[in-house]
Amino acid sequence: MKGGTPGNKGQGLFRQGKTLLSGIDPAGRAERAAAAVPVMDRTLYLCPSPLYAYGLEHLLARLDGFSHSAVLCVEADPELFALAQEHFPLTLKNSQKLRLTNYTDAETLCALLRQEWGPRFFRRVEVVRLNGGWQLHHSLYDMLADSLRREIALDWGNAITLTRLGRRYIRNALRNLSLIPRCYSLSQLSFADAPVLVLGAGPSLDTTLDGLCSHFDRALLVPEKRPFRIICVDTCLPVLKERGIRPDLAVILESQHWNLDDFIGLSGWNVPAALDFSALPSSSAVLSGGLFLFFTPWTQLNIFERLAAAGLLPASLPPLGSVGLSAAFIARRLTRGTIIIAGLDFSFTLDSYHARSTPGHKGKLRRHNRFTGLLNADAAFGGAVSTAVSKTGAPVFSNPSLRNYRDLFEREFAIVNAAAGDATVNDTIPRFFDLTGSGLPLGLETISPEAAFTILSAGNPLANGSSVSPCADNPAPAELPAFIRGEQNRLTLLRNMLTGESAMNYDTLAALVNECDYLWAHFPDYAAADRRPGKAELESGNAISFLKRLRVEIDPFLKLWELALR
């Protein structure tokens, strides 16, 4: 490209003082670069700025033996994208293993990846530079490659989570079914226009609570007198209880027993709780302020559709993976007022992983002796730990898991927050602010404690209280037993066909296996591949191993349905 205009094919291209394509054998150079690329299966080859597509046909030919590898060409420059569209041969345009795009937004590019190749198709991303076009936007291309790597890692992480915890999620959900007729759905709760303070249990929570107590004094202790609402994660509850602060809503997400320590000494405390449908059932029996159910779909299951059709599925929230992110999302759903985030640090220090009085902190104090100190050395000096800069500029520690949650927070809330700040776009979206502290920046506007307290003080404690809409959308008591008996009948028929008590009909078998997918969605070979057994596979005898494992799952779930019926 000379003088900023496209050149002729076969000639060198120059722009902004950079050589994009050599004038000496450009096709041969690209072919040699393609020949030097290590080829592997389940690999996405990201080719930034493909220009005339030199070398791509050779690269695709080398990928012929790898069914789960493909090439994604990205061009950020509009003129160069038009050049590529014009000169890409039809064989490349029609190839199922190659896509050309000008998407430069990470979220859109990741969506394209899922749309074209589906989940968990790739395991890694390799950048292939076949010419010098990448130099014009090298930082952008590097960012896109990192985003694709994170997306693929997150997708595989979700599959591993489903394999390890999928059975527990559905077992908890079935046990929590009995709560539905006597609990509210989260969609029935509203905080009107009240400002909301969302609290995580990070180390910065202590400083935040010190400032709140000093500023609001005793008005902080009584929800009815506070000019703002408090939504906290369950790990915050012991901290707030110790200070006499009763939150307006506690969010409970954990499906395992690890967070039962959060509820020690809290039995009967009059605090409303937002309980995830797949949370540990025993968590629902501690607090006495009322339960508001919500549902985070951990995977796609047909039973969810049947529950929704029967009016038994609570309000749905996106699966964000972190109770802190879920609390922020709930706040956005419940109020039209300003939302302030505090204590969602996604980082830790050498002597503090959570706030004081949390179960982890108390455990450290209990174990403290001459041989075991209070420093969190195992966390701070772990192999994957790295230093980071907090909102105050002080150094802190973080790890890949915490950073992924921080990045997810920014993607989920920062863009919406920008729209909320523009009244011409939408003046009904609540505005998020991030309270300054020792945590990682969240991509939001950071404000000082004084500014935050001014915003929180602006609420009206009488007009901005909590309200619950009538329970008209709660299912009638008779609907739940009818639904449970229908599920029992499905499992009984499926079991009888597998044991020979009923005649085998492969059409019926395939339908039942699909309808009862919660029995097998966590099987590793199906969770990872995101596939479902069809009639042909069942009838051919290739699914014997699958059917044996399926048979083992049926009786325990029949017992769960019986418990839910009681």
Residue 379 has pLDDT above 80, yes or no: no
Residue 366: pLDDT band with limits 50, 70, 90: confident
CB contact set of 183 (below 8 Å; sequence gap of 6+): 275, 290, 291, 292, 293, 474
Residue 425 has pLDDT above 50, yes or no: no
The span from the CA of 58 to the CA of 331, in Å, is: 53
Q: Within 10 Å of residue 114's Cβ, how many Cβ atoms?
A: 13
Residue 528: pLDDT band with limits 50, 70, 90: low
Identify the pLDDT of residue 465. Answer: 65
Q: Which residue has the higher pLDDT, 233 or 413?
A: 233
Identify the pLDDT of residue 38. Answer: 93
Q: Residue 211 carries which side chain, given as an amino acid letter?
A: G
Residue 12: pLDDT band with limits 50, 70, 90: low
Q: Which residue has the higher pLDDT, 502 or 13?
A: 502
Q: Tokens 């569209």 label which residue?
A: 85
Per-residue pLDDT of 123-154, as tens digits, reads 999 999 999 888 888 899 999 999 899 889 88
Q: Tokens 């008591």 label which residue?
A: 477
Q: Which of 8-12, 39-43, 371-375 is predicted least confidently?
A: 8-12
Residue 1 has pLDDT above 60, yes or no: no
* Long-range contacts, 219-222 (Cβ 8 Å, 24+): 219/461, 220/245, 221/245, 221/246, 222/246
The span from the CA of 373 to the CA of 375, in Å, is: 6
* CA dihedral angle for residue 524, residue 45, residue 62, residue 27, rounded to 10 degrees: 170
Total number of residues shown for the chain: 566
Identify the pLDDT of residue 3. Answer: 40
Residue from 538, 543, 556, 536 nearest 495 by CA? 556
Residue 497: pLDDT band with limits 50, 70, 90: very high
Query: In Å, how far are 76, 103, 158, 414 from 109, measured between CA atoms?
Result: 12, 6, 19, 18
Per-residue pLDDT of 444-480, as tens digits, reads 999 999 999 999 998 877 666 666 665 444 544 578 8
Assigned CATH for 13-156: 3.40.50
Return phi, psi of residue 48, to 5°: -75, 135
Q: Which residue has the higher pLDDT, 380 or 433?
A: 433
What Rg, from alpha-carbon coordinates, does the chain have?
28
Residue 2: pLDDT band with limits 50, 70, 90: very low
The HSE-up count of residue 315 (CA atoms within 13 Å, CB side) is 20
DSSP state of 348: B
Per-residue pLDDT of 242-262, as tens digits, reads 999 999 999 999 999 988 999
Q: 249-252 and 18-21 as β-strands: parallel, antiparallel, unpaired?
A: unpaired
Tokens encoding 475: 């299912």
Per-residue pLDDT of 282-330, as tens digits, reads 999 999 999 999 999 988 899 999 999 998 999 999 988 899 999 999 9
Per-residue pLDDT of 318-360, as tens digits, reads 988 899 999 999 999 999 999 999 999 999 888 788 888 888 8
Identify the pLDDT of residue 526. Answer: 76
Residue 221 has pLDDT above 80, yes or no: yes
Return phi, psi of residue 561, to 5°: -65, -35
Residue 60 has pLDDT above 60, yes or no: yes
| Region for 120 from its dihedrals, namely left if φ exceeds 0, alpha if ψ lies in -120 to 50, beta otherwise | left
Tokens encoding 416: 């919406």
Identify the pLDDT of residue 225. Answer: 87
Nearest 5 degrees, angle CA 84-CA 85-CA 86? Answer: 90
DSSP code per residue over 147-173: HHHHHHHHHHHHHHHHHHHHHHHHHHH
Query: In Å, how far are 6, 227, 435, 477, 550 from 557, measured between CA atoms?
Result: 65, 47, 46, 22, 11
Residue from 300, 254, 296 nearest 279 by CA? 254
Q: Is the dihedral of CA 14, 19, 21, 22 positive or negative?
A: positive
Tokens encoding 399: 């790890």
Q: Residue 308 carries which side chain, given as an amino acid letter?
A: A
Residue from 323, 409, 390 nearest 352 by CA? 390
The span from the CA of 500 to the CA of 207, in Å, is: 66
Task: Quote the percentage of the chain above a pLDDT of 90.
Answer: 60
For the chain, the domains span 13-156, 184-472, 479-565
Query: What 3-state class would DSSP assign to 353?
Result: coil
Residue 196 has pLDDT above 90, yes or no: yes
Identify the pLDDT of residue 172. Answer: 95
Average pLDDT score over the chain: 87
Identify the pLDDT of residue 4. Answer: 44
Identify the pLDDT of residue 464. Answer: 64
Query: In Å, how far are 225, 317, 464 from 229, measured between CA atoms?
Result: 10, 20, 8
Q: Tokens 């097998």 label which residue?
A: 520
The span from the CA of 87 to the CA of 103, in Å, is: 19
